[in-house]
Chain A
Amino acid sequence: MKYLLIVLLCLLPTFTYAGEAKDLAEDPVLEKRMVALAQNLRCLVCQNESLASSRSGLAEDLRREVREQMKKGLTDQEIIDYLVSRYGDFVLFDPPVKSYTLLLWYGPFALLLLGLIGLVFQLRKRKNSVPENQLSAEEAQRADALLNPPKDSLKDLET
């Protein structure tokens, strides 16, 4: 009897799991879609967190709003437009290409291009300023001796 009680007591914790997060299971497909969308949206309260992961009150409200709009049958793009019309482009983690984001999107490529142009100019200048060095006969002989030492001298080193 005692042992049975112990076994039953050991089983008890398995019945007590998952008290929270009930609303997640309401409609798993919709929830998945909501999370996928919210991962690309910024929580405006804790600005480097996404709407999907933030625990702030506003993020919870906005997730509820997104859920409701999905239930109404709005497309993802329509929901994004709805949020952008209220909170601005700042809610998007992926800023759209606009006249004032051109520098953001293409600035790095412009810098790369500038660097390449600079490099080409620099190399050309260098080619002109560094004269080709012609070796005299004596120098050539010495270089040859250093580069191709006689075979027996190497043998000396080995022993």
Chain B
Amino acid sequence: MMRFLWPFVIFVMLAGFLYVGLGLNPHEVPSPLINKPAPAFTLPQLHESAKQFSSQDMKGKVWLLNMWASWCVSCREEHPVLMALASQNIVPIYGVDYKDKREDGEEWLRHGGDPYVLSVSDTDGRIGIDYGVYGVPETYVIDKQGIIRYKQIGAVTHESLQKTILPLVAELQAK
């Protein structure tokens, strides 16, 4: 009996590891920017390119920074969630139109609705690199001191909003 015990224990351990591995998403790479200051940027606004928006303007507020693009498929899935959130006026959402043509970005917001206080245009993706973006949509929760507290990789869903983002926002706003 003992002969089979050890191979069996090892098999169960391996099976356990593999089972846990099945549930992991290899595309969710933990960001090293959590609890670090959000990289500063100043970019032209999407709708009025003559006007600039600087991340420094947001000091003292808790805000969401959402990276999106008109060519991004998951952004379509995320869009109604953001629209619903924007209508509740809980937290301001700012958008970065990532590696997109200005006209395409404007067109997409005109058609689908605009959940953003304003969007900026990051045509060649440089701000994306600063924020460690590797696939849109990505959403950052930034606190009053300008520190990144959370990064949502992939689409924001009702579930992630209720479970993680909104409680965190409430906690940060109370500080």
Contacts and interface: CB of A to CB of B under 8 A. Distances in A.
A84 B129 CA distance: 11
Nearest to A118: B6
B29 A85 contact: no
A47 B99 contact: no
Interface residues of A, number: 15
B32 interface: yes
B104 interface: no
Interface residues of B, number: 19
A2 B33 CA distance: 70
Contacts of A85: 32
Given A61-B124, A62-B129, A86-B129, A44 B134 contact: yes
B116 interface: no
B99 A57 contact: yes
B31 interface: yes
A106 interface: no
Name the prevailing secondary structure of the A interface residues.
helix
A115 B125 CA distance: 51
B134 A45 contact: yes
B39 to A, nearest CB: 8
A89 B125 CA distance: 21
B131 A90 contact: no
Nearest to B99: A57
Nearest to B135: A45
A45 B129 CA distance: 13
B156 to A, nearest CB: 20
A105 interface: no
Interface string A35-59: 0000000001101000000000110
Given A57-B99, A58-B134, A88 B30 contact: yes
A45 B138 CA distance: 13
Interface in A8-40: none
A79 to B, nearest CB: 12
A43 to B, nearest CB: 8
B130 interface: yes
Contacts of A84: 32
B7 interface: no
A88 B132 contact: yes
A86 B125 contact: no
A54 B33 CA distance: 24
15 contacts: A44-B134, A44-B135, A47-B26, A58-B134, A61-B99, A65-B126, A65-B129, A84-B32, A85-B32, A86-B33, A86-B129, A86-B131, A86-B132, A88-B29, A88-B30
Interface of B: 26-27, 29-33, 99, 124-126, 128-135
Interface of A: 44-45, 47, 57-58, 61-62, 65, 84-90
